């Protein structure tokens, strides 16, 4: 029996033949081009790496209690220092 036929049979078993709609929260329209306040003036930098990089990063996060953004910013600043490139103030 197809899935639709099964659903139809279940509907017919109910007294009214209707199913109450699922409750939904208030709809929020997200305008194109809007940016979350925490992202204003920032850019996304990403990379596809071996999963071991993420695992190691999470381990450092667990030890330090810092968030991933701060850890990556610190790592990039260390890289910049190693190559005599100006470091970026994180504040």
Q: Is the CB of residue 87 less than 8 Å from the CB of residue 80?
A: yes
List helix spans (H) across the chain. Answer: 3-13, 51-64, 68-82
- Write out the chain's pLDDT in tens, 91 residues: 677 777 777 777 765 656 566 666 666 665 677 888 888 888 999 999 999 999 999 999 999 999 999 999 999 999 999 999 999 997 7
Residues 67 and 61 sit within 8 Å (Cβ to Cβ)? yes
Residue 85: closest CA among 51, 76, 69: 76
**Over the stretch 50-59, which tens digit does the pLDDT of each residue have?**
999 999 999 9
Q: What is the pLDDT of residues 61-70, one digit of tens each?
A: 999 999 999 9
């Amino acid at each position: 029996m197809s899935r639709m036929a099964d659903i139809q049979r279940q509907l017919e078993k109910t007294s009214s033949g209707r199913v109450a709609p699922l409750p939904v929260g208030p709809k929020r329209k997200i305008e194109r081009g809007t940016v979350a306040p925490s992202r204003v003036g920032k850019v996304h930098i990403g990379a596809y790496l071996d999963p071991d990089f993420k695992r190691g990063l999470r381990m450092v996060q667990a030890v330090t209690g810092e968030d991933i953004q701060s850890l990556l910013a610190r790592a990039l600043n260390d890289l910049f220092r190693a190559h005599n490139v100006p470091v970026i103030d994180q504040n």
